[in-house]
Structure 1
Amino acid sequence: MRYYYILSVLLLLSSYVFSQQNESKYDVAAYIWPAYQDDPRFKEMNVFPDGKGEWEAIYKAKPKFEGHRQPRVPLWGYLDEADPKVQEKVIDTALEYGVNTFIFDWYWYDDKPFLERTLNDGFLKARNNEKMNFYLMWANHTHTTYLDPKEPDKSKVFWKGEVDFDIFDRFTDHVIKDYFMKPNYYKIDGKPVFAIYELGTFINGLGGMEEAKKALDHFRVKCVKAGLKGVHLQAILWGALPSTLSAVPGDKSETQDNTVKYLGFNSLTNYQWVHFVSINQDYASWGEKAISKYKEFSESFSIPYFPHVSIDWDNNPRFPGGPQPAVSNVTPQKFEKFLYKAKEFVDKHPDQTPLVTINAWNEWGEGSYLEPDTEFKYGFLEAVKKVFK
């Protein structure tokens, strides 16, 4: 009997050690670009007639200069990401390699949703979805012909990004009811995280700083009434985050920190390095310049900054004609180096939530993706696993 008791204890201990080895103390969050499915509103835009969403631009891409890595070919094929079985594979793979949170790019135009099927029909209907945390980044930019691979003029507008108070009030009801209440919605300090891509567009749509603050305060009150602890507002840090005057009488300085303080934001992160570091350079130098901003971002703001790592930038599949600027010489090994830098930043800020954001899980249209391709296979995911698991 003693032998079996000791054996049982050893088995329990080994099971515990194995589980600990496969858990991460870091929240590794990858953005999801939800356009690899046949969204009904693509018909309004007259794009992607093949019925496969933006995969059409990916498999029709051509190299535009010597050594150009196009077309990028997904190792898994051109899967419908609004299919729950596909999302089950995505979730299992992400968790295996250390990505434990998805940030869904989320859109609302003309008072109705756009590109929600990957989240609603795919991810949330996957049988294993509750293993994976998720949150929303409201991508509230004006929607133009940028996505149309046939159109050289990218300035034509489909839908404006600005919303007024009534529209914001209506869609936040939807967000609270259908997303925030999910058990796996990502929270910081018990509050569901909601990121906003373009604060300037948000402020303009509401009619100014004061009106924007009222709308956000109302959003917080609604969350509390719904039984939540409030909402954790996250701003995307780049040039679209405007600078404003402080509330201190006589202080004439204009800073981005004044804006997020006045509106009551709780944290910051980036969406893509291309927003603040010029491209057409080697990935190693591009990343070094971006990583060097961590200290500045952290010290310039009175709210926490969560480090970001981008994988690549090459949006040529979206452009007919001549070559667009792109980052060169990207490898999983270089990416791994920057992940270590992000991890180091997190470790030096133990008072903050250990969150790192990555662009992206599947941004094939901009060349920035963790999903395996036929060139590097699982190389970028292996880098995440090595650093964070």
Structure 2
Amino acid sequence: MKARVIAFYLPQYHPTIDNDIWWGKGFTEWTNVGKAKPLFRGHWQPKIPADLGYYDLRLSQIREEQAALARDSGIEGFCYYHYWFGNKRQQLELPFSEVVRSGAPDFPFCLCWANESWHQKFWKIDNSVTKKMLIEQKYDNVDGNKEHFFHLLPAFKDPRYITVDGKLLFCIYKPLEFKNIDVFIQQWNELAVENGLKGFYFVGQTYHSEDISKIKSLGLNAVNIVRLFDYYESLSSIERKLKQLFRYVMKRPLVTQYNATAKYFVGSEEREQDIFPTIIPNWDHTPRSGKGGYVINNSTPILFQEHVKNVFKTIEQKPDEYKITFLKSWNEWGEGNYMEPDIRWGRSYLDALKNVFSAY
């Protein structure tokens, strides 16, 4: 079966001027990852990278090694998070800019516009979050949309850019919060055609299946569902209250077990041609959020392999071009959500994915 596994990629892990100001000189995501501590019995922290180490994405060799690992496991390409806050303000653009400029690695890519404001967040044990604004997500007028398009045009014209039926795959993280998204979609499609491209295949992301019809009504071509919280939301109100009471009394994060939670990572909606499932290897947000975080505990490569099998079975009846599944994520170490080798499992998660491809 030709499954198209596209992995979300965090272009962090290098110092930036703003991060130096906000968090201290030299801050990267590794700062949070390295200082993480176990918060309950059986909680494996800190997560420590193996093959690639605590890398710096300014180094082209690291980007080449990442692509080699992903390619060998069967991943089609990376979907780089793209941060554009309006009026040409960006963040974390350096790694992807270098990928486009240098032509390396020779590995397919696309973009996901992570269209949300950045905050300094403080998670509380009662599951509430207080925020301090760092950068507000704003949306451009038609002139700004045009500048945004032409800024990315070299990437769009790159032969490595991933397409669906010849159209450029472009994800939008929060489509329901995107002001005038219909104008944006129409304008970018027109600009694409004017510049010798077939247009865009826009994918809106959501954590809630009930949002599917709303997202489609905005003019997007498809929806990607991330079912991180479906298991928890399936519990009765009493069960949820007991879990919250337990975490409050024990002063620990919200914890679910991977073997139970993974059964809810894919639903019947993903059998539709334009609804794309999400592969989730693991999740532990505590390096960022501490005791106020969410942990899907006791993930193993064997359980992950069964999850991938289930995803592939769900999409097997679709036309090959639409057998797309997004993998969340390639390298979100601060969320305990990654495929890269660590000192506990090595390359076992990559091998598990490869095994499922081999079985098909």
TM-score, scaled to structure 1: 0.79
Separation in structure 2 between the aligned mates of residue 198 and residue 242 of structure 1, nearest angstrom: 14
How far, CA to CA, are the matches of 1:53 and 1:27 in structure 2?
31
Structure 2's unaligned 5+ residue stretches are: 233-253
Q: Which amino acid aligns with 1:106?
A: H
Q: Residue 213 of structure 2 corresponds to which residue in structure 1? A: 257
Q: Whole-Å Cα distance in 2 between the matches of residues 342 and 72 of structure 1? A: 26
Aligned counterpart for 1:304 among listed residues 257, 267, 274: 274
Q: Which of 30, 38, 45 in structure 2 is aligned with 1:63? A: 38
Mapped pair 1:169 → 2:169: no
Query: 1:274 aligns to what?
Result: 228
Match for residue 66 of structure 2 among 67, 83, 90 = 90
- How far the C-alpha of 1:229 sits from its partner, in A, is 0.5
- Find the counterpart in structure 1 of residue 114 from structure 2: 139
Letter in 2 for 1:169: K
Residue of 27, 47, 57 corresponding to 1:72? 47
1:56-88 CA-partner distances (Å, limit 9, x unpaired)? 111111111222111000002101022111101
Q: Counterparts in 2 of 1:116-127, with a 5 A limit?
A: 116-121=93-98, 123-124=99-100
Q: State the 1:269 CA deviation.
A: 1.3
Alignment of 1:9-88 (within 5 A): 25-44=2-21, 46-49=22-25, 51=26, 53-75=28-50, 76-88=52-64
In structure 1, stretches of 5+ residues that fail to align are 1-23, 207-211, 244-255
What do the CA deviations read for 1:326-362 (whole angstroms, capped 9, x no partner)?
1111101101001111111221223652222111110
Structure 2 counterpart SS, 1:135 = strand
Report the secondary structure of 1:171's partner residue: helix
- Which position in structure 1 is the counterpart of 2:237? none
**CA 1:33–1:48: 2 relative to 1, 3 Å:** farther
Q: What residue in structure 2 maps to residue 285 of structure 1?
A: 260
In structure 1, the partner of 2:285 is 315
Q: Distance in 1 between matches of 2:86 and 2:197?
A: 28
What is the CA deviation profile of residues 27-68 of structure 1, one whole-angstrom value per residue up to 9, with x for unaligned ones?
211110111111233134x1252x251111111111112221
For the residue of structure 1 that corresponds to 2:82, the secondary structure is strand
- Relative distance call for 1:125 and 1:385 in structure 2 (3 A) is farther
**Change over 3 Å in CA distance of 1:69–1:80 after alignment to 2:** same
RMSD: 2.4
In the TM superposition, residue 157 of structure 1 has moved relative to its aligned partner by 1.2
Determine if contact 1:138/1:195 at 8 Å carries over to the other structure.
Answer: yes
Q: Is the 8 A contact 1:110 1:159 kept in 2?
A: no
3-state DSSP of counterpart to 2:14:
coil
Distance in 2, matches of 1:102 and 1:145, equals 27
Compute the displacement of 1:258 (Å). 4.6
- Quote the residue 2:333 is aligned against: 364
**Whole-angstrom distance in 2 between the partners of 1:311 and 1:124:** 28
The alpha-carbon deviation at position 213 of structure 1 amounts to 1.5
2:270 and 2:328 mapped to 1: Cα distance?
A: 18
CA drift of 1:173 comes to: 2.3
Greater length-normalized contact order (CA 8 Å, ≥ 6 residues apart): 2
The partner residue of 1:191 within 167, 177, 189 is 167
8 Å CA contact retained: 2:19, 2:27: no
The 1-side partners of 2:312 and 2:165 are apart by 21
The answer to whether structure 1 residue 104 and structure 2 residue 80 are counterparts is yes
Q: CA deviation at 1:288?
A: 0.2
Q: Distance in 2 between matches of 1:317 and 1:359?
A: 17
User: 1:64, 1:323 within 8 Å by CA — same for their partners in 2?
Assistant: no
Partner of 1:13: none
For 1:217, the equivalent position in structure 2 comes to 186
Aligned match of 1:7? none
- Residue identity opposite 1:69 in structure 2: W
Shift of 1:147: 9.4
